[in-house]
Structure 1
């Protein structure tokens, strides 16, 4: 699967090649006074950084040959200085990491400075852009929107402890979720990205929210009732035009939810004076609560103890997770991450024979190299269709364009649609309903009709009260007092059966 490619006149060498050398410095002493040798390394670092900046300027001016030469020399100097840091007394590795972070921000989104993956032994299909992934793989006209209210998105992402911790999670325990989210997003991109593009919002931000909220699963519903790929609560969705029509909740519509999300972000960015961290916290924890916390001080950092200590743990985790996913979308190669190349071009098929989405999934198999199958993608692209319900011939089903030919070859005739239908229409044994349980009776006898009162003490539960009385059942006490879910509180007076 190949993401749509484009041609650029400039190929620049990788920054990521220096990261392993930088990591080797991590154990060197940061609190020791730098030696003369360490100061020489710092001087080389500064010189390499200036050279890198010059290369960026030359590239943007169109002087590609000079830019390439300047960049190669600068990166060689940076790698050499980093390699000598561990064995140099007083060399502070943090200075090298800080330089690396600053150079990442310098290249953000304007043109690719990522790894030349083709040089690493990976086969790169003809016409692709050296295997670039993430924002580096997007066409220039679309990649240009990495600005948020006139500022580079990377400049608004503080590389602090919470964001670094979230980066590690996305690169380790959540890595599978990140990859799934990226693949899902590429097939939904043609519906969702234009809505962000109209609002002049960065695509990386859209991906970060999508990855954290639903992983790109259009039909996701949270325990709190938030629904859709961007997890709108019902009332908030209504406020931004996400209604229910003909039984379909438009929170599940990718384009509609992206439009509503862009409108929400635009509204809250204005309310919080373009403070991205506060805006994301409002999206997760509620704008009313965030406005009460912040008051008129919209320049306050989310991590200011007066704000941070009032946030729920969910919101404390949510904001850096979104920002870290957005950062990786912009700079995957710089973190030894390679997103899969995905051909997300939209297409459609007119069913030649009745079929459900589940049947189509079976007969399509792993077409176009999708080892996990196409069920999630078909559901995402057809949110109004029940995947288990057979659609009549002639119905148009949205599919990735790469599936149009496999559908004709595999699903219109032959053994696969027959097998898929046989599995789908399999008859399950009918199990008769269980008879209703007999009416429960108290485990211990009580005087019929006679009651007394009991005042709930701290630490009491209905079970402990019943055991203490020794003459009734939990259900009987709950029914006598009209208790829902057996909730009681200290000081409450309960009616309980009297013992014989």
Structure 2
């Protein structure tokens, strides 16, 4: 039953993908190409939503044992979805990517559970359709869907040139950076429910999102680069503002996984339009600046052209193939003897019965659920606006992986582990007064002060002033972790150097 529905969905999706690449046919009474019929487009999107819901209802019927009725509902939903998609193709302004993304999502709805072990890459597609799979990735995204991971109507796999630099990057991910890749995947899985829907709505492939995460931050929401780029997708301050990431109530929204993904998707779609859907140029622009890439690629230059590639910084020449290689491995792990761990990533919430910080919860949760690395990173990523050392009040609701919901009452609401966590958290280290910390020149504009410029971060300011540490500056200016919010024009007091 499921196999038949999936094969039908794949067939329809392939047909639509072919349609997306073909020139639109003009009906006898069609409106001019520059006229957008918003009402017609809205009606098609409504049909899309209704067809998806009907298909999902069919899946529920199948789970309940009503196979015949489920088949009728699912087939009818696919027929209507295909008809609406074909209409969309002929309507100016209608985004076909939405329909392609919907088919992709329906394929994932029927994804099979993965047994342990590996399969030959040549058999991956057939086994995924038949209800078998080789790895945890295939369980979430079967080969049939991963091979149809589309970007602007083209398969993402076709847009990745498997050349020397990309192959070298594959080797790096599979050797020295394999632990980083695995950890990035685990970190992403716990945030997936916040991040992936933003890409899905924008018609962008999940593999590309993972490529960004793996290269940019490893899935660490509070990552800050030496240049001041911040968050899981490493936005510079000015670029973040351009795409709606500001500072709200002291919280830098670049650290919010959902909002930063939304901004990243908007940036990509903007730049894909500018660079005529040349993915490599867009990735290079994300890393090295769109202005520079526009100048280098002027006149139709491609990323791998010697003239363009040779003029790039070593960082950008490395960045683009590393993102592409991580995306490729997300789609095809079984081809490279790579197995991503199974992650129980269902989201959950706990309401505190005792005051507790994220650090205390990390201690009392221990390695619950078999998580050998503990829960500190996941708790921070899911609650990015909270200082991990600051106690949250009774009644506060925190985002957690669902596996911790049942564990909270027995481990962290009371008992020996809660007591241990509270005791360790309350411990204080001796305060040592140093000459550097004691001598402060508080005169505005003097050697012991700094005026914040646009794009500055506290870490970047600390690096400029060798006598200053981030925590020292934060303490002197009463800045709260983890975001250490500052704004242009603000004058910060700095520790003065001693001779």
Fold match, TM over 0.5? Answer: yes
> Which residue number corresponds to residue 316 of structure 1?
317
> Which residue number corresponds to residue 184 of structure 1?
187
> Which residue number corresponds to residue 68 of structure 1?
none
Q: Is the 8 A contact 2:117 2:135 kept in 1?
A: no
Q: Is the 8 A contact 1:277 1:319 kept in 2?
A: yes
CA deviation profile, 1:190-223 (whole Å, cap 9, x unmatched): 0000000011000000000111000000000000
Alpha carbons of structure 1 residues 435 and 266: separation in structure 2 relative to 1, 3 Å: closer
Quote how far apart the aligned CAs of 1:158 are. Answer: 0.5
Q: Is the 8 A contact 1:115 1:132 kept in 2?
A: no
Other structure's SS at 2:116 match: helix
CA deviation profile, 1:253-280 (whole Å, cap 9, x unmatched): 0000000000000000000000000000
The number of aligned residues is: 330
> Which residue number corresponds to residue 396 of structure 1?
397
> Which residue number corresponds to residue 304 of structure 2?
303
> Which residue number corresponds to residue 374 of structure 2?
373
Are 2:247 and 1:249 aligned? no
> Which residue number corresponds to residue 352 of structure 1?
353
Quote how far apart the aligned CAs of 1:434 are. Answer: 3.1
Alpha carbons of structure 1 residues 129 and 418: separation in structure 2 relative to 1, 3 Å: farther
**Distance in 2, Cα, partners of 1:279 & 1:160:** 18
Alpha carbons of structure 1 residues 376 and 7: separation in structure 2 relative to 1, 3 Å: farther
> Which residue number corresponds to residue 339 of structure 1?
340
**Distance in 1, Cα, partners of 2:401 & 2:437:** 50
**Distance in 2, Cα, partners of 1:113 & 1:427:** 50
Q: Is the 8 A contact 2:213 2:219 kept in 1?
A: yes
CA deviation profile, 1:168-188 (whole Å, cap 9, x unmatched): 000000000000000000011
Are 2:121 and 1:118 aligned? no
**Distance in 1, Cα, partners of 2:140 & 2:375:** 23
Are 2:294 and 1:291 aligned? yes
**Distance in 2, Cα, partners of 1:370 & 1:9:** 37
Are 2:227 and 1:231 aligned? no
Alignment of 1:2-151 (within 5 A): 8=3, 118=116, 130=133, 132-134=135-137, 137-138=140-141, 146-151=149-154
Quote how far apart the aligned CAs of 1:114 are. Answer: 12
Q: Is the 8 A contact 1:114 1:132 kept in 2?
A: no
Quote how far apart the aligned CAs of 1:9 are. Answer: 6.6
Alignment of 1:328-477 (within 5 A): 328-434=329-435
Q: Is the 8 A contact 1:114 1:333 kept in 2?
A: no
Quote how far apart the aligned CAs of 1:407 are. Answer: 1.0
Q: Is the 8 A contact 2:232 2:255 kept in 1?
A: yes
Structure 1 unaligned spans of 5+: 1-5, 13-107, 122-127, 439-500
Higher relative contact order (CA 8 A, sep 6+): 1
**Distance in 1, Cα, partners of 2:111 & 2:358:** 41
> Which residue number corresponds to residue 168 of structure 1?
171
Quote how far apart the aligned CAs of 1:430 are. Answer: 2.5
Quote how far apart the aligned CAs of 1:428 are. Answer: 1.5
Alpha carbons of structure 1 residues 166 and 425: separation in structure 2 relative to 1, 3 Å: same
Quote how far apart the aligned CAs of 1:301 are. Answer: 2.7
CA deviation profile, 1:41-92 (whole Å, cap 9, x unmatched): xxxxxxxxxxxxxxxxxxxxxxxxxxxxxxxxxxxxxxxxxxxxxxxxxxxx
Q: Is the 8 A contact 1:129 1:137 kept in 2?
A: no
Alpha carbons of structure 1 residues 119 and 264: separation in structure 2 relative to 1, 3 Å: closer
**Distance in 2, Cα, partners of 1:364 & 1:191:** 23
Other structure's SS at 1:409 match: helix
Q: Which has the larger radius of gyration?
A: 1
Q: Is the 8 A contact 1:272 1:278 kept in 2?
A: yes
Higher helix share: 2
**Distance in 2, Cα, partners of 1:301 & 1:213:** 23
Q: Is the 8 A contact 1:136 1:330 kept in 2?
A: no
**Distance in 2, Cα, partners of 1:276 & 1:316:** 14
Are 2:279 and 1:281 aligned? no
CA-atom RMSD, angstroms? 3.1
Alpha carbons of structure 1 residues 435 and 198: separation in structure 2 relative to 1, 3 Å: closer
Alpha carbons of structure 1 residues 119 and 332: separation in structure 2 relative to 1, 3 Å: closer
Q: Is the 8 A contact 1:145 1:201 kept in 2?
A: no
